[in-house]
Amino acid sequence: MARRPKPEEEIEVVEEEVREEKRKKPKTLKRLVTELIVRTIGRDAAQHLINAEIEVFKALRAMIDYRICSAERAAEKLQEIEVQ
Q: What is the pTM of this model?
A: 0.52
* Contacts of 13 by beta carbon, 8 Å cutoff, 6+ apart: 5
pLDDT, position 42: 93
pLDDT digits over 72-82, tens only?
999 999 999 98
* Contacts of 34 by beta carbon, 8 Å cutoff, 6+ apart: 46
pLDDT digits over 40-74, tens only?
999 999 999 999 999 999 999 999 999 999 999 99
Radius of gyration, alpha carbons of the chain? 28
